[in-house]
Amino acid sequence: MSDKANLPPYISFFEQVGEVGILLGRTLRNFFRKPWEGKIFLQQLEEIGVRSLPVVSLTAAFGGLVFGLQTYMGFHRYIGQGSEAYGGPIISLGLTKELIPILVGLMVTGRVGSAMAAEIGTMRITEQVDALFSLGADPNRYLVVPRTMASIIMLPCLTLYGDIIGITGGFVYNAIMGVNRTLYWRNTLMYMEIWDVLTGLFKALVFGLVIAIIGCWQGLNAEGGAEGVGRATTRTVVIASICILILNFFLSRMLPATLG
């Protein structure tokens, strides 16, 4: 530990990037190797997916409502009364491509990424990870692979669910404000492409990978008792959140705006 502490920060940074890279490579390789830990995978699907539904519902609903509010205000103020129905495609595009994947990513980081770091970190400091190894279970296959697989499957599912809730929230606000509902939906369906939704789902898949790998990496490297587990948990939330925000920009930049 003190060796790492004595390293110049830039070397320490690259060392940590290397550690994550090795963990990622090993995990992806183990995706296709037996034995699969099916029971743990199903538990993680439930933990990451089903149990995140309330928090995703809440954030997506209010994200949609506030996006609907601002879009309504913008059209109403700058273009004029009656133009608000043209806000539908903007709300849907903004939500599906940017806001919902980011919100879901950050919420799942706080709820699940931190829990992964805490659980695996506790296993690490109580020698349970060593015990896995001694009993013939590769800690990567037993702990990291099921969590990563479940995370990259459930994040897009949660995002798709969040898209529906968010778009509904945006519509509800506009409907309450008296916007023409038929025109609103017609515009939304006319200008929105399936690609917009797929872009958001692809981002969510990448965020799912980031959350699981960083949570597991921090957990597997936790040291120093309860304080160390606390540090691993905090670092997971900070590092994963920053990675999600940075990656979101580059993914938005790299992914084509439309398929056409």
In the three-class reduction of DSSP (H, G, I as helix; E, B as strand; rest coil), residue 227 is classed as helix
In the three-class reduction of DSSP (H, G, I as helix; E, B as strand; rest coil), residue 258 is classed as coil
128 counts as binding other proteins under rule CB under 8 A:
yes
48 counts as binding other proteins under rule CB under 8 A:
no
Least distance to other proteins from the beta carbon of 134, Å? 4
On whether the CB atoms of residues 28 and 226 are closer than 8 A, the answer is no
38 counts as binding other proteins under rule CB under 8 A:
no
Q: What is the total count of residues that contact other proteins (CB under 8 A)?
A: 20
Tokens of 220: 């597997």
Of 100, 123, 154, 240, the residue at the interface with other proteins (CB under 8 A) is 123
131 counts as binding other proteins under rule CB under 8 A:
yes
Tokens of 61: 């609903």
256 counts as binding other proteins under rule CB under 8 A:
no
How far is the C-alpha of 194 from the C-alpha of 97, rounded, in Å?
11
Of 2, 81, 182, 258, the residue at the interface with other proteins (CB under 8 A) is 2
127 counts as binding other proteins under rule CB under 8 A:
yes
As a whole number of Å, the end-to-end CA separation of the chain is 53
Close Cβ partners of 136 (under 8 Å, ≥ 6 residues apart)? none
Which region holds residue 224: left if phi is over 0, alpha if psi is between -120 and 50, else beta?
A: left
Of 130, 177, 226, 249, the residue at the interface with other proteins (CB under 8 A) is 130
Least distance to other proteins from the beta carbon of 252, Å? 39
Give the interface with other proteins as residue ranges (CB under 8 A).
1-5, 35, 122-123, 126-128, 130-138
